[in-house]
Chains A and B, each alone.
Chain A
Amino acid sequence: MYIDPHIHMVSRTTDDYQRMAAAGCVAITEPAFWAGYDRSCAQGFVDYFGQLTDTEPKRAAQFGIKHHTWLCINPKESEDIGLAREVLAEIPKFLDRPSVLGIGEIGLNKNSRNELVVLEEHIALAKSRGLLILVHTPHLEDKMKGTRIILDAIKAHGVDPARVLIDHVEEHTVRMVLDRGFWAGMTLYPDTKCTPQRATDIFEMHGTDRLWINSAADWGISDPLAVPKCREEMRRRGHLEALIHKVSFQNPQTFLSQSPNFRLR
């Protein structure tokens, strides 16, 4: 039994749901993200938020998987502040839907000034509504710098770091995230993020508190079964079942249960 707390099912087929259920997936959370192209207007995001809060929970339920979501305009589409503010104005209309956990995946992409402005406005919205936050950290060479700027921005807004998950951490960012009291997510994604082997190494080096794993499977080359594959890697090394259960079920359950909307049944 496991939870994949970051996966983009709008980009996946229904037989992925079937395979995930067969592998033991009982719940997922789906952050709003970039679709691989820029949407031309705020209405494109409104339709997407409808898909996330209405269509996907029904599709997941067919396989006994509980679906939750996070809403935002993602950092890759945040350079246009005018569009971002139009989308931000639409988000509150969806926040009362029963499967919404909070604001995400917000963050930075190229660490630009406009991205930071839009990030701060999302943080303010989450804080005013008492919502959890799920953060996307930048890719590759931009990750370390962006992670620092993001942590500073969240702290400056006085948000409790225990209610914020900083995702896509790797060896060079995991420590700063945990040391400042945040939760951290390791993404098991080919080529650009962690392998199951490196994620297991990071558990061995940094412990299993406030740390989870996810697939972030989306429209790119990615693997909706990455979480069970990492569980297998931990098992192959001889790690205890209780620890494997902790990182792939209990930790996400503990963090996500801070939202009254998180339910496993």
Chain B
Amino acid sequence: MSGMSIPLTPHQVVDQYFLEHRAKVLDIAAFLDRFDRAAAAFGGADSATTDDVRVRALCAALDLLRDGQPQRARRVLELWSDHSVDPIPTAHTKGAIGAMPLPDAKR
């Protein structure tokens, strides 16, 4: 890869971006809490046991963030991507939901 120069030191990266990303982590925490409260109120599975593809995909991505390996953004996007290769027979919808069901090993 032929990237360009990296102007910020590690300390400057933290100074510029820490509060922004601290807030985003809290948003994820609050989202999972919200899901679990709804599960308790309506008698569904919570975020640890749900079959919802999107919640499972989000939690799997959180595990990936902590694996100590580089290129996290690329790998999260790949985790959520359709890895099949052939065109589908027919488009029955226009939308995308944001994540594919995970293979069982990644659940």
Contacts and interface: CB of A to CB of B under 8 A. Distances in A.
B96 A112 contact: no
A149 B84 CA distance: 11
A228 B82 CA distance: 33
Contacts of A175: 1
A148 B99 CA distance: 18
Given A111-B88, A172-B77, A198-B73, A142 B1 contact: no
Contacts of B93: 110
Contacts of A143: 77, 81
B16 A236 contact: yes
Given A141-B98, A171-B71, A175-B1, A112 B90 contact: yes
Nearest to A38: B94
A76 B95 CA distance: 9
Contact of B94 (A76, A172, A236): A76
Contacts of A76: 94
A208 B5 CA distance: 11
Interface string A167-198: 00011100100000000000000000000011
Contacts of B81: 141, 143-145, 172
A145 B99 contact: no
Tell me whether chain B's interface is mostly helix, strand or loop, or mixed. loop
A113 B16 contact: no
A114 interface: yes
B85 A145 contact: yes
Contact of B87 (A115, A201, A207, A237): A115
Determine which residue in B8, B88, B98 has the highest number of CB atoms from chain A within 10 A of its CB, and name it. B88
Contacts of A239: 4, 7
Given A145-B82, A238-B7, A116 B96 contact: no
Tell me whether chain A's interface is mostly helix, strand or loop, or mixed. helix
B30 to A, nearest CB: 17
A204 B80 CA distance: 24
Interface string A213-240: 0000000000000000000000011110
A145 to B, nearest CB: 5
Contacts of B43: none
A205 interface: yes
Contacts of A170: 73, 77
Contacts of A138: 96
Contact of A207 (B2, B16, B73): B2
B90 A142 contact: no
B8 A112 contact: no
B74 interface: yes
A205 B6 CA distance: 9
A180 to B, nearest CB: 15
Contact of B4 (A139, A142, A243): A243
A206 B1 contact: yes
Given A76-B94, A113-B89, A237-B8, A207 B1 contact: yes
Given A144-B81, A149-B87, A237-B16, 19 more contacts: A79-B90, A109-B91, A110-B88, A111-B87, A111-B88, A112-B90, A140-B80, A140-B97, A140-B99, A141-B99, A142-B96, A144-B82, A148-B85, A171-B74, A171-B77, A203-B4, A205-B3, A207-B3, A238-B7
Q: Which 4 A-B pairs have the closest CB atoms?
A: A238-B7, A110-B91, A140-B96, A112-B91
